[in-house]
Structure 1
Amino acid sequence: MDNCHCGRPIAYPSCCGKIHHDITAALTAEDLMRSRYSAFVLAKGDYLIKSHHSSTRPSRKEKKSIVRWAKSVNWVKLEVLQTSKGTPQDTKGTVEFKAFYYDDTGMQMIHEHSKFIKEHGYWVYVGVV
């Protein structure tokens, strides 16, 4: 069995794949963040937009650019450094992570402390803390 793209020792269909099919399956802010990383690996633009808070959601034009970029790099791994709140009982939380990928210039890293809140009863990404 292969690990999910997000790094958990579970196959994609039982991990992020489940969340990609039903966003309410992300029970925690970390679950949503991991599913977004997997969506970047798989260039799932519709999911990336849906999992974005309505106040910070990219436009359709921006979605095309995001998908093009996600496909242009080779995703390596995700490291979750810490979480704050973001449990099933919470309505907000933060996740600090590092996402590693290769582009034309070599190994790159995104280090972000992200804010998540529940909107319409499910977790969504708001932006950088």
Structure 2
Amino acid sequence: MDELLGSSCPCGSDESYRVCCGPFHRGESQARSAEELMRSRYSAFAHGDADYLFRTWHPRTRPDDVTIDPRITWTGLEVIDSVAGGPDDDRGEVEFKAFFESAGRADSLHERSRFERRAGRWFYLDAREDL
């Protein structure tokens, strides 16, 4: 992962991975909003960081094990809508499209994710994909 630190961040910001989502993945800081957590989770999928995905998944809804399919290449992220999920909220929702390639075919995932803050930290709760 060190070779990726200077590259642009997969979450779509204009920042490098080193200063954008890298600090979250390395445990140096916490997401300040539901959207920031969603973007950092997308970057974790793109970088193959299953440990970060597990750590940021709400304990009530997370699976026993989180794995990342190595046959999927994540190619882009478009945030469509964000509801609540700010510094004064305990819940939030983020709708997005995540673009990927698998088996040489381009595809996308359209999802509205729900997030919950516990003890000052944001966690991914669950998602609705029937949009």
Same fold (TM over 0.5): yes
Greater than 3 Å deviation, 4+ residue runs:
none
Contact 1:29/1:123 (8 A) holds in 2: yes
CA contact (8 A) 2:97 2:109 kept: yes
Q: Distance in 2 between matches of 1:121 and 1:24?
A: 12
Superposed CA offset, 1:12-32 (max 9, x none): 111100111237520010000
Q: Does 1:44 align with 2:49?
A: yes
1:83 aligned residue: 82
Secondary structure of 2:18's partner? helix
Name the structure where helix makes up a greater proportion of residues: 1
Cα deviation per residue 1:77-126 (whole Å; 9 max; x = unaligned)? Answer: 00000100011111110000000000015111110000001023200000
Are 2:99 and 2:106, in contact at CA under 8 Å, matched by a contact in 1? yes
In structure 2, what residue type is equivalent to 1:47?
A: Y
5+ residue gaps, structure 2: 1-5
Q: Which deviations, in whole Å up to 9, do the C-alpha atoms of 1:34-65 show, x marking residues without a partner?
A: 000000001111110011000111112xx2xx
- How far apart, in 2, do the equivalents of 1:22 and 1:120 lie? 16
For residues 25 and 99 of structure 1, the distance between their equivalents in structure 2, rounded to whole angstroms, comes to 22
Identity of aligned residues (%): 39
Whole-Å separation in 2 of the counterparts to 1:5 and 1:73: 14
Match of 2:30 in 1: 25
Question: How many Å separate the matches in 2 of 1:81 and 1:26?
Answer: 19
Q: Separation in 1 of the partners of 2:104 and 2:21?
A: 29
Q: Distance in 1 between matches of 2:58 and 2:90?
A: 13
- For residues 83 and 101 of structure 1, the distance between their equivalents in structure 2, rounded to whole angstroms, comes to 22
SS in structure 2 of the partner of residue 128 of structure 1: strand
**Alignment gaps of 5+ in structure 1:** none
Say whether the 8 Å CA contact 1:5–1:38 is kept in structure 2.
yes
CA distance in 2, matches of 1:24, 1:114: 22
